[in-house]
A and B are shown apart, each in its own frame.
Chain A
Amino acid sequence: MTKRLDAKRLRIVLYEGEGSTAIEDEQRLSTMTALLEDGHQVTRSGSNGTVATADTSDHLFLGQFDELPTASKAVEGGEIRFADIAGKDSAAIQELVRSQVQEANAEQPGEWKPWFPVIDYSRCTNCMQCLSFCLFGVYGVDDASQIAVDNEDNCKTNCPACSRVCPEAAILFPKYKSGPINGDVVREEDLQRESMKVDISALLGGDIYSALRTRSKDARERFSTERDESKALLERKRCLKKLQKDLDIPDEVLMTLPSAGDIEERARRAREKAEKRKARSRTMQDQKKVTTEEDWGI
């Protein structure tokens, strides 16, 4: 999917006020359902209650108008369009909306399944393990040197691997099947995931986390040697099945998980960023938690 962050979308309003005939319950429901299934935002203007205020978005009013209001006029910078839906079924209304979207040069909602990590900053300690782990450049840091999701659409659909790596259960995938990754409350047992960390290390062909901790020349050499051995490859294969089952990681991602070198390099870069942040926070008296050597287990 190519994201068009600047692309405008139409806000659709099912209008039943003055100058129009009320829409039957069934027609309103089928119209709204069809438009939502097509990815649109729809506002129902009823007899009571309030809705979100108008902003600079373009609006498309759908109704059974006594007389179709005249050409679009600007309100708050946006345009207002009108289209008559009298006698039209939901399929015809979907078509009508598609052509209105095109005419307004607005964006047609896409087919992309929105699968991407969402960070719960009330839990995140900014340890950067997710950034080190993800091979697809989904994570970055913001201006305040805080971990951020930079490239949502680089994320591999249905892969929740980074949420397993996060020691704080701070990474959500709202469309995941189970908690706490789907946003359900985090329980104590969710934080006891040492066994999963071991599995990931094994998959990567060695004791990654210990290698990161020692970082001695000897340890690095030993580690590289292990990775060259077919034993490591066999171990990697053996782990695939178990990991797929335990962690729900798609094949495509399993086969391209970062190597020990990748992880070390990412950890180094993340640590550099953390150091810069530390230096800055000293001057700015930043109250945020700063990643320390101890946090990195080095």
Chain B
Amino acid sequence: MTPPESKAARILYCHCAYAKVVPEETKQKVLRELNASGVSFDAVADLCEMSARKDPALQRLASGGETKIAACFPRAVEWLFHAAGAPLAKAGVEVLNMREDSAEDVLQALLGETANKTSEAKS
């Protein structure tokens, strides 16, 4: 998977609701800033759960051009979509890892310039 070029990539946020593997503060901060940014985005409770039940919504989320996904390890996310019969495109999809990376880094990758403006407005 190669990162999307355009800043207007679609955003998908995974809340990892059924386990505590993503640090709570990272999730909260990313969700808070996404909400405050004015950007449209899709949020799902738990991609793992959707993959296990082969939720058809994963097709909708996997298709439609450049996408940035805030979730966990890219290898896990890639094969979760594959397992549900909704493989992610090889190009134009970027997975941000909220398990390992800071909320700031994830937001910067998701929102770019907008992330800076949102935090400036707050301070």
Contacts and interface: CB of A to CB of B under 8 A. Distances in A.
Nearest to A181: B76
Contact of B35 (A29, A116, A185): A29
B79 A32 contact: no
Nearest to A23: B35
A222 interface: no
B107 interface: no
B52 interface: yes
A144 to B, nearest CB: 14
A45 B39 CA distance: 8
Range for the number of chain B residues in contact with chain A: 35 or more
A109 interface: yes
Contact of A49 (B39, B63, B72): B39
Interface stretch (A2-10, A190-198, A205-213, A273-281): A2-10
A121 B99 CA distance: 23
A48 B39 contact: yes
Given A5-B54, A52-B60, A177-B21, A114 B40 contact: no
Contact of A112 (B8, B12, B49, B56): B49
Contacts of B19: 113-114, 175
Contacts of A28: 35
B36 A25 contact: yes
Nearest to B19: A175
Given A46-B39, A118-B83, A121-B79, A109 B45 contact: yes
A119 interface: yes
B53 A4 contact: yes
Interface stretch (A35-43, A67-75, A260-268): A35-43
Range for the number of chain A residues in contact with chain B: 35 or more
Given A44-B41, A116-B52, 5 more contacts: A40-B45, A44-B35, A49-B10, A52-B12, A183-B76
Contacts of A57: 56-57, 60
A50 B8 CA distance: 8
Cβ-closest 4 pairs across A and B: A183-B76, A183-B73, A174-B76, A114-B48
Contacts of A174: 21, 48, 72-73, 76-77, 80
A149 interface: yes
Interface string B17-48: 11101000000100110111111111111101
A47 B118 CA distance: 14
A44 to B, nearest CB: 5
A185 B95 CA distance: 14
Given A36-B17, A52-B61, A25 B73 contact: no
Contacts of B31: 29, 32-33, 36
Among B53, B63, B77, B83, the one with the most A-chain Cβ atoms within 10 Å of its Cβ is: B53
A36 B45 contact: yes
A227 interface: no
Interface in B48-85: 48-49, 51-57, 59-61, 63-64, 72-77, 79-80, 82-83
